[in-house]
Amino acid sequence: MRATILCYHKVGPIAEEGRRLNIEPRRLETHVRYFARRRQPFLLARDLVGGWPRGTVVFTFDDAYLSTMRHAPDVFERHGVRATFYAVPGRVGTSSDWDGPAARPLATWDSLREAAARGHEIGNHTFDHPHLAGLTDEEQFQQIARADARLRAEGFNPRSFCYPYGSLDASAMAAVRRAGYGVAVALGKQRATRQDDHVALPRVVVAYSDALPMLLYKAHLRPLMRRRWTP
């Protein structure tokens, strides 16, 4: 029983956001429309606790870029579904300094609250976006716990976690559990199964050039080919 968990970042016109970590709104809509027309179950990441129905698809967005919060919610709502957006509380309303010279504005608290009020999930993406695998056990926990506390202070109820850069190790997973999370998403090149550890669920990363056929190849065909040809 597999779930297709998709990982996006920015959503905006190429003239504004370029190609790096971006997908244009019209292309995102083709992705959403495909799954909606097939009547596949859409879940938020927080709903993956304990399992999911056959054909489940989950749309997740890392970092809560301003462009994403301007464009993505409307795309989903036109199809009657919702998505999960992972915010970095220590950087909300500033810019993505982890992107270096390509840093882009991040959403404000008000825009995140508006999305939550419309039914979208706002999740925990650590306090200031470090590579968790390079930190001590206590530093890992504090990154998650401080983010959780700030999100709650701003009126949110975070129930799923996302590892920045997909960086995790056994102690990071233990810190996620210690902080009270039953679901966390990482990166990967395959769909999630119920046998996967629920605090390290793999996601399929979506790039600018991924028209619908490439998305379906990444999510469905490529994992089958890898399993077939792996010794």
The CA angle 24-26-27, to the nearest 5 degrees, is 70
Number of domains comprising the chain? 1
The CA angle 224-57-184, to the nearest 5 degrees, is 90
State the pLDDT at residue 229: 45
For a pLDDT cut of 90, what percent of the chain falls above it? 90
pLDDT digits (tens, 9 = 90+) for 71-98: 999 999 999 999 999 999 999 999 999 9
Q: Which residues pair with 8 in a beta bridge?
A: 61
**Structural domain that includes position 189:** 2-229
State the pLDDT at residue 50: 85
pLDDT digits (tens, 9 = 90+) for 134-178: 899 999 999 999 999 999 999 999 999 999 999 999 999 999 999
Per-residue pLDDT band at 223 (split at 50, 70, 90): low
CA distance 135 to 81: 37
CA distance 35 to 224: 20
CATH of the domain at 123: 3.20.20.370
Output b/e per residue, 116-150; b: 16+ Cβ within 10 A.
beeebbbbbbbbebbebeebeeeebbbbbbbbbeb
Three-state DSSP at 187 gives coil
pLDDT digits (tens, 9 = 90+) for 103-123: 999 999 999 999 999 999 999
Q: How far is CA 10 from CA 23, 43, 182, 208, in A?
A: 6, 20, 26, 9
- Dihedrals φ, ψ of 63, to 5°? 85, -20
CA 64 to chain centre: 9
Per-residue pLDDT band at 230 (split at 50, 70, 90): very low
CA distance 229 to 2: 20
